[in-house]
Amino acid sequence: MQVVHTVADLRATREALGASVGFVPTMGALHEGHLSLIRQSVAENDATIVSVYVNPTQFDNPADLERYPATLAQDVVLAEKAGADMVFAPNYAEMYPDDFHYRLDETDFSRMLCGAHRPGHFTGVLTVVMKLLNIVSPAAAYFGEKDYQQFQLIRGMAAAFFMDVDIKFGPTVREEDGLALSSRNVNLDAQARAQAPLMHALIDSDRSDDEIREQLTTAGFEVDYIVSHDGRRFAAAKLGGVRLIDNVPLGESS
């Protein structure tokens, strides 16, 4: 497997990978959720490229960026075991030669849910994903259901700009106790880790959004939102200083 760090090197070797290239963009600290997307891409394409880039423009909190785990060497090993053919691991200067003077905004759904609580977050997300898709030129790109708002915005962006890429998502991968896998979970201390699954248990229940907010607050969560929207219930809350997000389809009981 190849590891490249520049756009020039990726483009120099991209054509040799085949006509159907799948792409899994990540911020590293790979876990089973990422690996399931890589395996999905491997099964559906001639070759798979994984990007590992902690994108600073999508962090509204500098402390969160500083705490984000950086494990590139381990990520490369895991990506190769999952079947990836290339890891693209650029730095800021490579991704933002314009120093983020040019950026991409969505003016509706990105202002809701996470966007309402993290100003500028989705501008950073959409800008870097647009750049990555233009660099890699994949036939398909894969995103996790846990970040469902992000997936919807990226799919909408690709459609709005007539991008020749199929935006796909894989199901949320969870721990046995229901906690959605996230790179940030490593920052949970033992007490917070024991409490964290409560959020999924409640949003997947027949309780109302307000009831869930109240119960989580009582349990020590700092709730950003519990919102039922367009057939899904979305949740975001901080626990022990770590921000957790999740969503579930609304069933008949919900």
**Given 5, 34, 101, 229, which residue is catalytic?**
34
Distances (CA, A) of 119 to 115, 209, 226: 6, 23, 18
Angle between helices 121-136 and 148-160 (to 10 degrees): 60
Q: Is 34 a catalytic residue?
A: yes
Distance CA(148)–CA(146), nearest Å, equals 5
Write the CB contacts of 88 (distance below 8 Å, at least 6 apart in sequence): 4, 5, 10, 49, 50, 51, 52, 53, 132, 135, 136
Q: Which residues pair with 229 in a beta bridge?
A: 232
Distance CA(20)–CA(62), nearest Å, equals 38
Contact 238, 225 (CB under 8 A): no
Using DSSP bridges, classify how beta strands 86-88 and 222-229 pair: parallel, antiparallel or unpaired: unpaired
Phi, psi torsion values for 65, nearest 5 degrees: -65, -45
Q: Which residues are catalytic?
A: 34
